[in-house]
Amino acid sequence: MKALICGVGGQDGAYLAQLLLAKGYEVWGTSRDAQVASFGNLQRLGLRGQVTTRSMAPKDFRSVVSVLMDCQPDEVYFLSAQSSVGLSFEQPAETLESITIGTLNLMEAVRLLRRPCRTYHASSSECFGHVGRVPAHEDTPFAPRSPYAVAKASAHWLVQNYREAYGLYVCNGILFNHESPLRPARFVTRKIVAAAARIAQGSPERLSLGRLDIVRDWGWAPEYVQAMWLMLQRDTPRDYVIATGEAHSLEQFVVAAFAGVGLDSRQHVDSDPSLFRPTDIAWSQGDASRAAAELGWRATCHMPEVVTRMLAAEMAAVAAS
């Protein structure tokens, strides 16, 4: 089996490469410019030399077709495009183009390839918007509240359309928040544990965050890439919500991180209104019952353990520096 991971350098791409290599796959991966990309996450996992890398610009149709024809994959995992909700408010046009046009180009390229190929598309829990305290499932209506979520919703429907119109084996993974030590520093979870680790080592800084009352469903990224693979092993394609089913506030995440290094977060963390987003989701929680019933997938690592694992990695990195 040969797999192509578009966006192999990211958190999910690197963990997915690790999973597929362990299963005996030949793994190819793309970056916008593979010749200059560091692929730091692959290096961190000790996988850099085991993945064939190629340059691919999702917004350039010729680039997408060229890589698919070169690779001739059995499975494609589309994890590329802009991945930050916060950044999407600053770069809405780039966000919409990279996500929607990139997805459209991939769907068209797969269709024109005329070769049996199963494709996974990274949809997002952000598409649901604010649903109150009711966990979202696959039939929950979308109500996006950011340029990122609008783009992801459009891409999600494109995938469904190509599946219905052309009979492609394509599916959406509607993943809720999933974290790991490979998260980029700009993401709030990594920002929190990194600050806690530095302060525990004597840094005098204070951590400024936006709203602390937002509620999220946080899981462990290496478990979530297993769900991606499982989706492509079914006889027929279908969309799945992937989540822990548990909801915790950002303040609870902060308290857990600082308590993990013996500190009281109230003495080191501020909520800064200038960091609030124009719109934000107050409560986000998922219902992964379909994945449990049809894929046999269930989250085993929940928020407290996610914090513990991320913090351990961060403390080790601080100590080594």
Mean pLDDT of all residues in 211-226 = 97
Q: Are residues 162 and 13 in the same domain?
A: yes
Residue 129 shares a structural domain with residue 71: yes
pLDDT at 158: 98
| Mean pLDDT confidence for 84-96 | 86
Domain of 45, CATH number, reads 3.40.50.720
pLDDT at 205: 96
pLDDT digits (tens, 9 = 90+) for 159-193: 999 999 999 999 999 999 999 999 998 899 999 99
Instruction: Count other Cβ atoms within 10 Å, centred on residue 123.
Output: 25
User: For position 85, what pLDDT does the model report?
Assistant: 84
- 119 and 231 in a single domain? The answer is yes
Residues 144 and 128 in one domain: yes
Mean pLDDT for the stretch of residues 90-95: 89
Q: Write the CA distances from 218 to 11, 138, 301, integer angstroms.
A: 15, 18, 9
What is the model's pLDDT at position 2?
A: 98
Whether residue 62 is predicted with pLDDT greater than 90 in this model: the reply is yes
> Distance between CA atoms of 268 and 287, rounded to whole angstroms?
34
Residue 55's domain comprises 2-178+221-242
- Inform me whether the pLDDT recorded for 321 exceeds 80: no
Domain-located, residue 102: yes
Which sequence positions are flagged as catalytic?
A: 124, 126, 148
Q: What is the pLDDT of residue 129?
A: 94
Q: What is the pLDDT of residue 44?
A: 95
In this structure, is residue 52 part of a structural domain? Answer: yes
Residue-level pLDDT at 319: 79
Q: Is residue 141 part of a domain?
A: yes
Q: Give yes or no: residues 134 and 207 share one domain.
A: no
CA dihedral angle for residue 184, residue 188, residue 192, residue 195, rounded to 10 degrees:
60
Helix (H) or strand (E) holding 52, with range, is strand 52-55
Q: Tell me, what's the pLDDT at 318?
A: 79
CATH code where residue 256 lies: 3.90.25.10
Return the pLDDT at 233: 98
Q: What is the pLDDT of residue 81?
A: 75
The answer to whether 237 and 295 are in contact (CB under 8 A) is no
pLDDT, tens digit (0-9, with 9 covering 90-100), for 271-304:
998 888 877 899 999 999 999 999 999 999 999 9
16 and 40 housed in the same domain: yes
Q: What is the pTM of this model?
A: 0.96
Give pLDDT tens digits for 105-151: 999 999 998 888 999 999 999 999 988 889 999 999 999 999 999 99
One domain for residues 93 and 142: yes
Distance (Å, whole) CA 301 – CA 15:
16
Pick the range with the lowest mean pLDDT from 4-13, 39-48, 96-105, 273-282: 273-282
**251 within a domain of the structure (yes/no):** yes
Number of domains comprising the chain: 2
Residues 145 and 253 in one domain: no
Same domain, yes or no: 173 and 193: no
Do the domain assignments include residue 151? Answer: yes
27 confidence band (pLDDT: 50, 70, 90): very high
Q: Report percent pLDDT > 70 for the chain.
A: 100
Q: Looking at residue 111, what is its pLDDT?
A: 95
Residues 57, 122, single domain; the answer is yes
pLDDT of residue 17: 98
Q: Are 287 and 241 in contact (CB under 8 A)?
A: yes
The answer to whether residue 296 is domain-embedded is: no
Residue 220 pLDDT more than 80?
Answer: yes
pLDDT of residue 105: 97
The pLDDT score that the predictor gives to residue 86 is: 78
65 and 192, same domain (yes or no): no
| Domain annotation covers residue 236 | yes
**Nearest partner of 30 among 90, 109, 96, 94, judged by Cα:** 109
Q: How many CA atoms lie within 13 A of 313 on its CB side?
A: 15
**Do 227 and 257 belong together in one domain?**
no
Please indicate, yes or no, if residue 294 is contained in any of the structural domains: no
